[in-house]
Amino acid sequence: MGSYENTDGDQRYERQSYQRPSKPGADNFVRESFRQNNFWLRIMQEHALFIRLGLPCDEVKLIREAEKLQELFKGLRAELRRLPQKPEAFRAFNDEVIEALGKIIDYKSTVLERLITCNLGGSNLPLLIDHIRREAIRFRVILLRLQNGIRVPLAEQALQEEIFWLRIMGEHAHFIAHLLDPSERPLVKQSVLLAKSFETLRLQAEDLESMEVPRAFENWLLPEKLAGCPLPPRFGDLPKPLLIPRLLRFNEEVIDLTKEIRDFKEVALQLIEACQVLSIIPPLLADHVLREAEMALEDLRIIGRKISKFDQPQEEDRAGIGY
């Protein structure tokens, strides 16, 4: 079955060894394409590893599929390191990644379906597979937005980012609580309390979303078959997304709570590496969720800077900027 080995063959938990493009005047498309691929390709590679190690040893086909996905994303990471910092190069590369993401989303969907229909054993929790599938879907949407020049109104974009990361961080806290030994009562309690705090803010974010982005609620009520299709008459004629000053304060609250779980994960990683905590959390997984907290903070700070530039609701029409 293998082990939670380093995905690169270098130091076990080395942070990204290559830098963002520094060429003066590099446009936002190149910068953001690099930033997203630089982070998420490694995450996708590790997802395939984590799923593989949680599968029963007799699920040979699924194990081999996971190994192929690991190699696929490892190859894409190597390609990214060599990629010229030019829009045309990233446009072609993004298409490659989008195709690869379709494969890993399908794979995660197969594993999840078998888990929730009681047709697969092992140690992969259904919510964990759903969790990592959501991450892959979001990564794919980000690249599709970049490829197609889709611009998202700022209020809508901010709430999407916040709701996504609040749920991801809250689930991390739940997963940590489940993977710690029950004897680690103070750490288990701290994890559960963090999860509750994230859930509280996530519900608040959903309240703000229905206030500021009514079309998001309308879209949620539509059947799946209409996704991406022209809407029937009278749909989609609700008020435009509204940016309000409260959103800046909310973003700061989300950042503060994310810093708290980031610091908690950092201490947990140190304890795990030193064998000073009882758990079934491997160091690579602890490092994986720590890196995601750092990415969450980066995304949330970017959103915060954008919001701070627009303090009047009527500015929203000029703030419809995407990634």
- Each domain of the chain, given as residue ranges in start order, spans 1-150, 152-323
**pLDDT for position 26:** 47
User: Is the pLDDT assigned to residue 60 strictly greater than 90?
Assistant: yes
pTM: predicted TM-score of the whole model, two decimal places: 0.88
From 44-48, 67-71, 242-246, 281-285, the region with the lowest mean pLDDT:
242-246
* Amino acid symbol at 112: L
From 181-195, 237-251, 305-319, the region with the lowest mean pLDDT:
305-319
Q: Which of 227, 207, 127 is nearest to 162 (CA)?
A: 207
**pLDDT for position 236:** 80
Q: Tell me the three state secondary structure of residue 180.
A: strand
Q: What is residue 19's DSSP assignment?
A: P
**pLDDT for position 257:** 98
**pLDDT grade, residue 8 (50/70/90)?**
low
Q: Which of 39, 31, 26 is nearest to 293 (CA)?
A: 39
**pLDDT for position 19:** 41
Comparing 298 with 19, which gets the higher pLDDT?
298
User: Is the pLDDT assigned to residue 188 strictly greater than 50?
Assistant: yes
CB within 8 Å of 156: residues ≥ 6 apart: 212, 213, 216, 241
What is the mean predicted confidence (pLDDT) over 141-166? 96
**pLDDT for position 5:** 59
Q: What is the pLDDT of residues 78-119, one digit of tens each?
A: 999 999 999 999 999 999 999 999 999 999 999 999 999 999
Comparing 232 with 180, which gets the higher pLDDT?
180
User: Is the pLDDT assigned to residue 185 strictly greater than 70?
Assistant: yes
**pLDDT for position 225:** 77
> What is the C-alpha separation between 54 and 19, in angstroms, rounded?
33
What is the mean predicted confidence (pLDDT) over 125-144? 98
Q: Tell me the three state secondary structure of residue 311.
A: coil
Topology of the domain covering 1-150: Ferritin (1.20.1260)
> What is the C-alpha separation between 47 and 70, in angstroms, rounded?
8
What is the mean predicted confidence (pLDDT) over 30-52? 98
How is residue 287 written in tokens? 């490092």
**CATH assignment of 152-323?**
1.20.1260.120
What is the mean predicted confidence (pLDDT) over 46-50? 98
Q: What is the pLDDT of residues 26-37, one digit of tens each?
A: 489 999 999 999
What is the average pLDDT value for the chain, to the nearest integer?
Answer: 90
**pLDDT for position 7:** 58
Whether 5 and 46 have beta carbons less than 8 Å apart is answered as: no
How many other C-beta atoms lie within 10 A of the C-beta of residue 288? 22
**pLDDT for position 269:** 98
Q: Is-same-fold flag (1-150; 152-323)?
A: yes
**pLDDT for position 223:** 87
Question: Above pLDDT 70, what percent of the chain?
Answer: 88
